[in-house]
Homo-oligomer: A and B are copies of this chain.
């Protein structure tokens, strides 16, 4: 089996180390309009389908990286984390892939520029910012596609967090090494009027993590078999909607894609239901708004929170209806 280390070694070969003392980077969070749901290779985070996201501007992760001795140090939002915390263990294992010498260690200062309670996933922007900083710190000078692959090895959706705007993560055809499964910006696509807002319905711990939920869905959900075809259709629809700036087409497609992802989970055995009672209330409220003529759609990730999609022109109306909205 090909390991993460094999891929990192392959990517770094020929790229001279030209280390600096310290490196800084920022990467935005991203919200998938067409979801990444299911891996065809768990070790390499190779997806079953392509996916498409929009990045969240200034909301994301900042990272300052330097070398240090003895042990990795992780400072998150100004506080040093315990060495045995889940986050530090996962991060250290990832950094093992890049240590120039066995004994070299990293000091990572990272900050999320999103209110933590806002519930935007930070692993995507976190891993992406670390990869950008690693590239600078070591002086590898890697091209973006390679950085995207490295970010993917940390967290699948991190592959999409290296850019602003619309980003497509290509499924790729290389099942052995996944060297063609990277993200890149959708060409000639800007849409400043498109807005994303987040409604936080719960800050608590999820009953099942998204990796486990994804795995269970792929393994046990009868409906998952229809998911790849759904994605193929939605990717084409979204690209067309973006190209023509057709907001209703974009919103309806993104909403349907998210509902379908959640539907595949509910059909898993045992079922995975991230929804809270308020998730249902909120979805119905969005539909009611739309029924009344307001162009408003939602998307949801592997959790109960709901992200609203709307246009700049309707911002104040929507804030009125959803006062707790956090707008990206």
Contact = CB atoms under 8 A, between A and B. Distances in A.
A281 to B, nearest CB: 5
A12 interface: no
Interface in A203-245: 222-227, 229-230, 233
Contacts of A322: none
A270 B259 CA distance: 11
Contact of A263 (B233, B264, B281): B264
A140 interface: no
A236 to B, nearest CB: 13
A256 B283 contact: no
Interface stretch (A46-54, A81-89, A142-150, A271-279): A271-279
A262, A275, A279: residue with the most chain B Cβ atoms closer than 10 Å = A275
B283 A280 contact: no
A148 to B, nearest CB: 28
B280 A273 contact: yes
Nearest to A276: B280
A179 interface: no
Contacts of A271: 255-256, 259
A252 interface: yes
Nearest to A229: B222
Contacts of A230: 222-223, 267
Q: Is the interface of A mostly helix, strand, loop or mixed?
A: helix
A269 interface: yes
Contact of A233 (B222, B227, B276, B279): B222
Copies in the complex: 2
Interface in A248-264: 252, 255-256, 259-260, 262-264
Contact of A280 (B223, B260, B275): B275
A266 interface: yes
Contacts of A40: none
Nearest to A279: B280
A284 interface: yes
A159 B284 CA distance: 34
A154 to B, nearest CB: 31
A240 to B, nearest CB: 16
A260 B229 contact: no
Given A269-B252, A273-B284, A223 B278 contact: no
Contacts of A224: 226
A222 B259 CA distance: 11
A114 to B, nearest CB: 27
A163 B267 CA distance: 30
Given A222-B226, A222-B230, A223-B264, A256 B269 contact: yes
25 contacts: A222-B226, A222-B227, A222-B233, A223-B230, A223-B260, A223-B263, A223-B264, A223-B267, A224-B226, A225-B225, A225-B226, A252-B269, A252-B270, A255-B271, A259-B271, A260-B266, A263-B263, A263-B264, A263-B267, A266-B266, A273-B284, A277-B278, A277-B280, A277-B281, A279-B280
Given A262-B266, A263-B264, A277-B281, 6 more contacts: A222-B233, A222-B260, A223-B227, A255-B271, A256-B267, A266-B266
